[in-house]
Structure formats: structure tokens, C-alpha cells
């Protein structure tokens, strides 16, 4: 099955008539290009460069250290973020207490749960993301477990969006940027890897732009949820160009019986396919 997903998507692109003549950013200039977080802590957001409300970060007294950067640690959220509503602080306080008591925190990627939005942008630093573009749709796929987002181009939001893991994403190009507007998210996911909760009011706008001569993909994120945050907050994620080769098919939930002896949330199961 190696490369099968790439072959299928490439065929779709050819049938769709995508050409290099279009004046849009090209996120996949060849079959080897994917995108990988540009730093060891690439599964955390970067704060907005201009200041203002930003994402939840680690407690300064207990900094997050990812694998490959020394002795790794589990995340302990900074509860002093003034943008968090009281109920969000209480939820994070519970999760912090579990970690400080020696527990292993929930991780969407490790439990085979969908990442949701905007956590999709920092799902985990273990595999690249591939982006496929057609005139009507952009697909964003994490190689591990083939987590897929559909971005429908130049289309309005539906009148009544049924909440789902990835919501409804519509997008358009503004010069050299792809602008993605997402609503209709359920409240089962988290906005980050600190497990910061949100409500179904969450509204996310992402701006994808290639910088540094094609070496870096930058995502500027604005998240607005009046049910969880006092004000809209901003964050940044950056990916480096990763020449890994055609996408590989992989799986997560299937035959996953060994949980290394620690407590896990149930792996999501679907009674019927969603297509």
C-alpha cells in the first residue's frame, strides 16, 4: 500500500485540471514535499508576534521539554493566562493536578482521537502534513493515521452546520495566502496539547503562507470562543519543507491493544462510515 494514497490524490488533481498557471501559493510543488514543524517544541503554538491575547503555554516553573531536547516532561499549563474564563482554568487545574501526581496526560494523537481545529496545526511532532490543492477544495492530511481536513474553496458556510470534529472549513486565496474559516466544531476536542477545552461557539481563522523562499510554511491563527475565552486570541505555527517522499498509508486505532500499562481514554469507534 506504500504511496497508494498519493497516487489516488494525484489522479484527482489531474482530473480536476489544476495547473501551475494559477496565481496561488503552491503548497506541493512536487511529490516529495510535505511540511514538518520547524522546532523541537513544534507541538506547541508560538505566541503572536505583536503581543495581545495568546495561546496557553507551559507553566514557567515547569517548562515543557519535548523528546529529543533533554529529559522530556509532560505539559503543565500556565493558569495565569488572563484570557481564560474561570471554568477553563478549573479544567486545566484538574489536568495539571493529574500530571503533578504522576499521571500520564491525555493526548489526542496517542489515543487516536481527531485533533480538531486549531489543534490540527500542532497535532503532534511525529509526522509531516501533506497539502493537496484542487480548484474547488484543499485537503490537509497528517501522514500518521491520515487525519484529513477538507477546505472548500470560494463557498459560503452552510446555513445549519452540524457540529463535528473538524467542523466546516471554507477558504479562499488572498494573494499569496490561503485563508481558512472554520465553524461548526464540536466540544469533544481541545484547542491545544494542554487539553484546553472550548465550546461549540469556537470560530477559527487560519492564514497559510509560504515564506523564506519556499522553505517555511507559516500559519497565523485567530481563535474566537466567547464561551471559553474573554477575547479572541492569536497564535502562530511554522513548518519547514520536508522532502520525505510520497505519503505513506498508516493507521492508529486498528489492533491497538497495548497501552504500555497506563490509563487511556477509549479509542473512538464509528458505527458507520461518514462518507
What whole-number distance in Å separates Cα of residue 109 and Cα of residue 120?
A: 10
Does 150 map to a domain? Answer: yes
Does 164 map to a domain? Answer: yes
SS3 for 87?
helix
Does 268 map to a domain? Answer: no
Cβ pair 223, 199 in contact under 8 A: no
pLDDT digits over 129-164, tens only?
999 999 999 999 988 778 899 999 999 999 999 999
Does 266 map to a domain? Answer: no
Does 258 map to a domain? Answer: no
Q: How far is CA 209 from the centre of its chain?
A: 16
Task: Give the model's pLDDT for residue 258.
Answer: 54
pLDDT digits over 86-124, tens only?
999 999 999 999 999 998 888 887 778 889 999 999 987
Does 154 map to a domain? Answer: yes
Cβ pair 92, 105 in contact under 8 A: no
Residue with cell 495561546: 55
Residue percentage of the chain with pLDDT more than 90: 65
pLDDT digits over 208-228, tens only?
999 999 999 999 999 999 999
Predicted confidence band of residue 68 (pLDDT cuts 50, 70, 90): confident
Give the total number of structural domains in the chain. 1
Domain that includes residue 99, residue range: 4-19+28-243
Strand partners, 207: 179, 220
pLDDT digits over 178-202, tens only?
999 999 999 999 999 999 999 999 9
Nearest Cα neighbor of 82 from 217, 193, 229, 224 is 229
Cβ pair 222, 232 in contact under 8 A: yes
Does 255 map to a domain? Answer: no
Does 259 map to a domain? Answer: no
Amino acid at each position: 500500500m506504500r504511496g497508494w494514497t498519493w497516487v489516488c490524490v494525484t489522479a484527482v488533481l489531474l482530473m480536476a485540471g489544476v495547473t501551475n498557471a494559477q496565481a496561488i501559493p503552491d503548497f506541493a510543488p512536487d511529490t516529495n514535499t510535505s511540511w514538518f514543524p520547524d522546532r523541537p517544541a513544534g507541538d506547541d503554538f508560538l505566541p503572536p508576534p505583536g503581543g495581545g491575547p495568546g495561546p496557553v503555554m507551559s507553566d514557567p516553573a515547569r517548562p515543557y521539554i519535548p523528546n529529543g531536547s533533554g529529559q522530556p516532561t509532560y505539559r503543565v499549563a500556565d493558569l495565569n493566562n488572563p484570557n481564560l474564563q474561570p471554568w477553563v482554568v478549573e479544567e486545566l487545574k484538574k489536568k495539571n493536578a493529574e500530571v503533578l501526581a504522576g499521571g500520564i496526560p491525555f493526548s489526542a494523537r496517542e489515543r487516536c482521537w481527531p485533533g480538531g481545529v486549531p489543534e490540527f496545526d500542532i497535532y503532534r511532532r511525529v509526522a509531516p502534513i501533506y497539502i493537496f490543492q484542487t480548484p474547488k477544495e484543499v485537503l490537509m492530511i497528517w501522514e500518521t493515521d491520515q487525519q484529513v481536513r477538507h477546505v472548500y474553496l470560494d463557498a459560503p458556510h452552510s446555513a445549519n452546520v452540524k457540529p463535528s470534529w473538524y467542523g466546516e472549513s471554507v477558504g479562499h486565496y488572498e494573494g499569496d495566502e490561503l485563508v481558512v474559516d472554520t465553524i461548526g466544531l464540536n466540544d469533544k476536542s481541545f484547542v491545544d496539547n494542554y487539553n484546553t477545552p472550548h465550546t461549540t461557539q469556537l470560530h477559527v481563522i487560519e492564514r497559510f503562507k509560504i515564506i523564506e523562499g519556499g522553505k517555511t510554511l507559516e500559519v497565523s491563527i485567530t481563535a474566537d470562543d466567547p464561551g471559553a475565552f474573554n477575547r479572541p486570541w492569536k497564535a502562530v505555527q511554522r513548518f519547514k519543507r520536508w522532502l520525505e517522499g510520497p505519503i505513506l498509508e498508516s493507521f492508529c486505532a486498528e489492533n491497538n491493544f497495548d497501552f504500555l500499562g497506563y490509563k487511556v481514554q477509549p479509542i473512538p469507534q464509528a458505527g458507520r462510515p461518514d462518507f
